[in-house]
Amino acid sequence: MRSRLRLAVVATFIIGLVITGLSSVVAKSPEQRDQIRAADQVAQRFDAAMDRYVGSAAAELKSQHDADQDGYPALLELVQDKIADAPRLRAGTTTSYGREHSGDFQGAGLRRTAALAPLKDLESYLRTEAIPHSQFIAAGRKLVTLRPGTLLGDGPVLDGGPLRERVLPAYEKARDRLEKQDTPKGSELLQLDLMTYANDVISMTKQGAKKIDDQKAFFFQLGDRPVKLLRRLAAIEEAIQVKVAQQVEIVAASQ
């Protein structure tokens, strides 16, 4: 009997504590409620401002991309500016109590992060993949579009000097430029084939210069290697264009 009585007393005490705790949470003064309401309103106005800002930024980014689908550096600069200039939640005239107890205010930071996520994904892809890979493509294209006949010009080639002075430096420069570029993932074989092509032409040029010095006939024989390499470079370029377009559409569709 005494044991049951003690349990009843303990249970009553615990229930009292819970009710007291709930009362302390629920029972807020009119002034406290006003402070929370003010923080809610600030957060709600901020959310509306973010929606307008990101919508405007998305439209501007799409317009920029539509006007120049290969202008990745300019697009990157624009999206970085838009991310940097995005509105930030300010305390304004709210109180610390209101901000702490306002669910809208407390969640505004996460909502801002979510709103900017598509822009940040686009920025990351442009900066880490699209632009570096485009530089690789440009270097590869520069190499394979070199033409020995164009470099030599229309004048007669009476000795190996013109090959050493005009053709050889152009191919060596193009090869060195390509070697400095980051290779797109999955394009390692293409990079190897480009470098092999460059070295083959350089070796051919040196041998040709020596033959001409020795009064022997020489002709550059490049075959269809430049055309095939250009096609492979174009395939990578097209894949980048598609991915950038998709990222831009995601930004636009998120609004």
Given this model, what pLDDT does residue 28 score?
A: 79
With helix as H, strand as E and coil as C, how does 61-87 read? Answer: HHHHHHHCCCCHHHHHHHHHHHHHCCC
Tell me, yes or no, whether 91 lies in a domain.
Answer: no
| pLDDT score for 26 | 58
Q: What is the pTM of this model?
A: 0.80
The answer to whether residue 147 is domain-embedded is yes
In a domain, 248, yes or no: yes
> Would you state the pLDDT for residue 27?
64
92 in any annotated domain: no
Residue 238 in domain:
yes
Residue 85 lies in a domain: no
Q: pLDDT of the chain along its 255 residues, tens only?
A: 444 434 443 444 444 444 444 444 556 798 999 999 999 999 999 999 999 999 999 999 999 999 998 899 999 999 999 999 999 999 988 999 999 999 999 999 999 999 999 999 999 999 999 999 999 999 999 999 999 999 999 888 889 999 999 999 999 999 999 999 999 999 999 999 999 999 999 999 999 999 999 999 999 999 999 999 999 999 999 999 999 999 999 998 876
Residue-wise DSSP of the chain = -HHHHHHHHHHHHHHHHHHHHHHHHH---HHHHHHHHHHHHHHHHHHHHHHHHHHHHHHHHHHHHHH-TT-HHHHHHHHHHHHHTS-----TT--HHHHHH-HHHHHHHHHHHHHHHHHHHHHHHIIIIIHHHHHHHHHHHHHHT--HHHHH-SS---SSHHIIIIIHHHHHHHHHHHHTSPPPTT-HHHHHHHHHHHHHHHHHHHHHHHHHHTT-------TTHHHHHHHHHHHHHHHHHHHHHHHHHHHHHT-
Q: How many domains does the chain have?
A: 1
- The per-residue pLDDT for 255 is 66
Is residue 188 a part of any domain in this protein? Answer: yes
In a domain, 204, yes or no: yes
Full domain range(s) for residue 214: 136-253
